[in-house]
A and B are shown apart, each in its own frame.
Chain A
Amino acid sequence: MKEAVPLAKARDTAIFGSKAVGLGDAARAGLSVPPGVALSGSIVEAVAGEEVRAIERVAKSVRPLQGPLAVRSSAVDEDGAEASFAGQHLTLLNVPSAAEVPSALREIWWSANSDSAITYRQRVGLFTRPSVAVVIQTLLDPDVAGVMFTQNPMSGADERVIEASWGLGEAVVAGLVIPDHFRVDRSGHVLDRKAGLKRIRVRSVADGGTVEEEVPSELAERLCLDSGQLEELNRLALRCEQIYGPARDIEWAFAGGTLYLLQCRAVTRAGL
């Protein structure tokens, strides 16, 4: 089905993939998620194949979104229990406008049909035609972002483990910095806070893409989250557990004073 719907209407993982439906669940539950749309795998393939009607339909759906866009794959069997496609399928941060969305979708479609993605599929026993659904969202310009495990993935302890750094969360996810490290118990009490070494931050640039920029030296070793923000993150962890279940791996960002949920998935690997 060639569908393009607002995130809150993405309900079927077989059509929109787990990432889009997870964000749809969050939007329906009233959590703050950046505004966005979910595209079905078939409309993404049609756009990659330059079908004019599909391109027009996607253009219409993304028109209400403000500013630069983040375009992420939400492949239908992505993040499943058997295999994680994280790292195999492309994410394009800071696509400057709706006009660049078709070429972004084509790149993402090819990333799922690349030699490395197909080799991975063969290795994990998923040698089937990929269905590459996509999430398109307004790209935030966060002050701080990172990841959070609702349960300690190393020890299994009932505590939140948070890693954070300045700017976009890609600095943490891609291992570009030593992030600040926090442990918070279920009641919100901070058990541990360790400052990392955050010499760079990732920011979006006006003409598309992202750039790694130097962090002022006084910020590199300063904790980037205060107690109030840690409390907000603990509340987000609780809500995510209520909505999705225990042991979640969350990507989040603070932008303009608001905490946004960027992604929430089941923990698929041990260790941070």
Chain B
Amino acid sequence: MKVEAKMLLGLGLFFGIMCAVYWNWSLENAGGVMMFAGMLLCFLPGSYYYFWSRRMKARPEDDPNATQASGAGVVGSFPGTSIWPFTLGMGAFMVVLALVFGIWFLIPGLGLVAWALLGGTAEGRRGGKV
């Protein structure tokens, strides 16, 4: 994960320098705060990947001489059909409509959101149903 780490840390460093120059030179705080936060956002995964890349051996996708056979086995868990994204989406839709049409929309909205979160988590743990 070295390339990923360097890319993110590099971006973060660039934002940091830009932030230092801008915040000092301008008379304006909002931009400075936003650029600073952008820098932190890049450093967060970047440093995580950096420290991991030093500890782990090359994954098959980081190995320029890997064979396809080296990637055999479990790739990951890919939930097939699931009703929960749709349910959560409809719940979020109703929550937003509550912002416009009245707080009573929050009842079905938050209800669907909670149901979807519970159902989706259970599905993930249990392995889901057909």
Do A and B interact with each other, yes or no? no
**B residues bordering A, Cβ < 8 Å?**
none
